Amino acid sequence: MFEFHLEGTTGPARAGTLTLPHGQVRTPAFMPVGTHAVVRGLSANDVRRTGAQIILGNTYHLHLRPGENVVQSMGGLHRFTTWDRPMLTDSGGFQVFSLERLRRIEEHGVEFQSHIDGTLRMLTPERATEIQWHLGADIAMAFDHVVPGQSSFELACEGMERTLRWLDRCKARHAELVGQRASGNAGRSQLHDDAAFPLPGFPAFPQTLWPIIQGGIHDELRIRSLEGTLERGPWTGIAIGGLSVGEAKPVMHHVVELLASRLPENVPRYLMGVGFPPDLLEGISRGIDLFDCVAATRNGRHGTAWLPTGRLNVRGSALKDSMAPLDPECDCETCTTYPRGYLRHLFVVEDILGLRLVSIHNIRFLVRLGEQARAHILNGTFDGWSREWLGRYYAGGN
């Protein structure tokens, strides 16, 4: 369980298979974001049909609504959402440090005001780990101290070092929870039985914990973060956080290259919050295996579709009476069913079906990009294909 098997490489680009309690993930792969235990606007069936192998949930949002106790009492995130494939939960670090109502940061943890009802709440490494344990995803993330994108060396160093100290606490709490389950009578086969609810505190399936590398845009800090993280291992996966937060693309690429070349081969690498189409290919070509980003659904809701030739505004009047599919090369439900003219009409009359259909396409577009990259990596044709793909996308003027 939680093994990662590397199946092929083309330069730094990698194709592998990650085995998780709810299934396998063929990498490289894009993970759609389901912040509130729902990939915005889409049913679990919609998401399954995009070919997505794993989706995200978010500790911060799910702690506030509906609360981890509700999710746990309903059998965990999988049964709550009816999503039966792998899931990962983010730790809430990124969210609480982005809050306007962040109140106090201490070594102990972070005090913040709920954006829902203004109540004061506390997240600590232990709490974040416990909440994720109750949510019951396949992968939990360590609680990290996130600093703004262009932070000074001093500030980035403080966040990075605290993230390492917090990692110790997350790891210890997670090990305790795993130990409690192992000594309990809540074995997996019993818990998987639909008739029997999991015991309180025991997720039905095993869960692993992944650390997050911080350090901003400072090479020295990134390497210290990496080394400190590896010293605290072994890990079944490692994430790179604090990127795609306003820094220039070449800076992001540099940090990814710096880390990927030093990361162990047999561990999947997850680049957090990255997932516009070209970013996916740029990341894959530098050795990243997993991505997540809300852009697919956010763009979908705003009527922006991703095509191999760049972005398309679905509201555009040129689409008015077009019988063409949104993307003639795409095999998603939207592109194989609806003409462009109808999709535009849905946005004009403001029917929510439009948001859903373009979101479905955008997610499928990224999922398929991962599938294509994987096939080309295994065939040894990744570099040429990737260069051509990016050239065509950028030539669209986007």
**Enzyme catalytic residues:** 90, 292
Select 280 or 296, whichever has its Cβ closest to a second copy.
Answer: 296
Measured from the CB atom, the residue of 70 and 395 that comes closer to a second copy is 70
Dihedral sign for Cα 81, 96, 364, 210, please: negative
Tokens of 160: 């990075």
* CA–CA distance, 210 with 2 (Å, rounded to integer): 11
Under rule CB under 8 A, residue 74 binds a second copy: yes
Per CB under 8 A, 345 contacts a second copy: yes
Among 1, 120, 155, 352, binds a second copy (CB under 8 A): 352
356 binds a second copy per the rule CB under 8 A: yes
Contact status, residue 142 vs residue 209, Cβ threshold 8 Å: yes
Does the protein bind a second copy through residue 337 (CB under 8 A)? Answer: yes
CB of 118 to a second copy, least distance (A): 17
Strand 29-32's sheet: what is its strand order? 29-32, 290-293, 269-271, 238-240, 212-213
Q: From CA 206, how far away is CA 21, in angstroms rounded?
A: 7
- 3-class state of residue 84 by DSSP: coil
Beta bridge partners of 209: 140
CA distance 291 to 294: 11
Choose, by CB under 8 A, the member of 61, 162, 173, 181 that binds a second copy. 61
Q: Is 338 in the site for a second copy (CB under 8 A)?
A: yes
Q: How many Cα atoms sit within 13 Å of 29 on the Cβ side? A: 20
Does position 348 interact with a second copy (CB under 8 A)? The reply is: yes
Q: Per CB under 8 A, does 321 bind a second copy?
A: yes
For residues 124 and 110, what is the distance between their CA atoms, to the nearest angstrom? 6
At its nearest, how many Å lie between a second copy and the CB of residue 189? Answer: 21
Query: Which string of x and - marks every residue 29-58 that binds a second copy (by CB under 8 A)?
Result: -------xxx-xxxxxx-------------
By CB under 8 A, name the one of 22, 26, 48, 79 that touches a second copy: 79
Options 70, 172, 248, 375; binder of a second copy; rule CB under 8 A:
70
Least distance (Å) between residue 368 CB and a second copy? 20
DSSP 325: B
Tell me if 30 sits within 8 A of 52, measured CB to CB: yes
Nearer to a second copy, 7 or 351 (CB): 351
**CB crowding 233-254: b at 16 or more within 10 Å, else e:** eebbbbbbbbbbbebeeeebbb
Query: In whole angstroms, what separates CA 148 from the centre of its chain?
Result: 19
Which lies closer to a second copy via its Cβ, residue 85 or residue 376? Answer: 85
Residue 26 or 79 having the CB closest to a second copy = 79
Among 7, 4, 5, residue whose Cα is nearest residue 378? 7
Contact at 8 Å (CB) between 316 and 358? no
Q: Is 298 in the site for a second copy (CB under 8 A)?
A: no
If binding means CB under 8 A, how many residues of this protein chain bind a second copy?
40
Site track for a second copy across 150-169, x = CB under 8 A: --------------------
| Beta-bridge partner residues of 26 | 17
Query: Under the criterion CB under 8 A, does residue 381 sit at the interface with a second copy?
Result: no
* Residue 193 interacts with a second copy (CB under 8 A): yes or no: no
Among 188, 249, 320, 387, binds a second copy (CB under 8 A): 320
Sign (positive or negative) of CA dihedral 324, 326, 331, 333: negative
Q: Is 341 in the site for a second copy (CB under 8 A)?
A: yes
Residues that bind a second copy (CB under 8 A): 36-38, 40-45, 61, 65-66, 70, 73-75, 79-82, 320-321, 323, 333, 337-339, 341-342, 344-346, 348-349, 351-353, 355-357
